[in-house]
A and B are shown apart, each in its own frame.
Chain A
């Protein structure tokens, strides 16, 4: 494996909308499995992935309460990835685009996420062996 084993990902999809979100999180999990440090630059709708006020809900049509429905929350996935990185002594930096946060009013992010801007994306990409931008189309 390359000496510089840090990868940067740019992602823009909001939570609960697209299969890309699942694939994106699977990629991050795979990277940690392989001992790779991760930088994420979340912009546009993706800044809501770490919104702390996400809540599970039941499904009245199926007569299931919130526990039975077990609705996945992306904020929990981010925390799990951060915890996994810590266990493996890997870096896991998640930066939300501040402008995109303000536009959407999702300022209350979980602890694993920080606030930044395009300059941070540039810094992350410059310090990584490779960068993948996952666009919507």
Chain B
């Protein structure tokens, strides 16, 4: 089993590749790997409760730890109360810690 840590800067409403990236995360988790996801920049748009993104929503119940960058949320006026379930706001330190821990950190 491996630990994957995805930093997601793209959002599904702008870039078609994002859905494929979310599918990969689901498949890695389903295969028994530990998967984490850090949403940053426009990536946090998927986290808003109003955002319609079926591929992203599959991740919410897939046992994947999901973080949303506080600064990116603030820039886009997305309140913490507007986040979908199982999403935690966090600072970029989480990414650095994952790198130091030796997780496979991948930038999307």
Contact = CB atoms under 8 A, between A and B. Distances in A.
Contacts of A135: 107
Interface in A31-63: 31, 33-34, 36
Contacts of B93: 30, 33-34
A27 B100 CA distance: 13
B97 to A, nearest CB: 7
A30 B38 CA distance: 15
Interface residues of B, number: 22
Contact of B100 (A23, A36, A133): A36
B28 interface: no
Q: Taking each of A5, A23, A30, which has the highest tally of chain B beta carbons within 10 Å of its own beta carbon?
A: A23
A7 B97 CA distance: 11
A19 interface: yes
A interface, size bucket: 20 to 34
Contact of B92 (A19, A26, A129): A26
B50 interface: no
Interface string A1-45: 110010100000000000110010011001101101000000000
A67 to B, nearest CB: 25
* B interface: dominant SS: mixed
Nearest to A9: B99
* A interface: dominant SS: mixed
Given A20-B9, A133-B107, A135-B107, A26 B99 contact: no
A33 B95 CA distance: 13
Interface string A99-135: 0000000000000000000000000000001101111
Nearest to B92: A30
Contacts of A133: 107
A20 B8 CA distance: 11
A20 B99 CA distance: 18
A36 B99 CA distance: 10
A1 B101 CA distance: 7
A7 B98 CA distance: 11
8 contacts: A19-B41, A20-B9, A26-B71, A31-B96, A36-B100, A129-B100, A130-B105, A132-B105
Given A23-B92, A30-B95, A34-B100, 13 more contacts: A2-B100, A7-B96, A20-B9, A26-B92, A30-B92, A30-B93, A33-B93, A34-B96, A36-B96, A36-B100, A129-B99, A130-B102, A134-B107
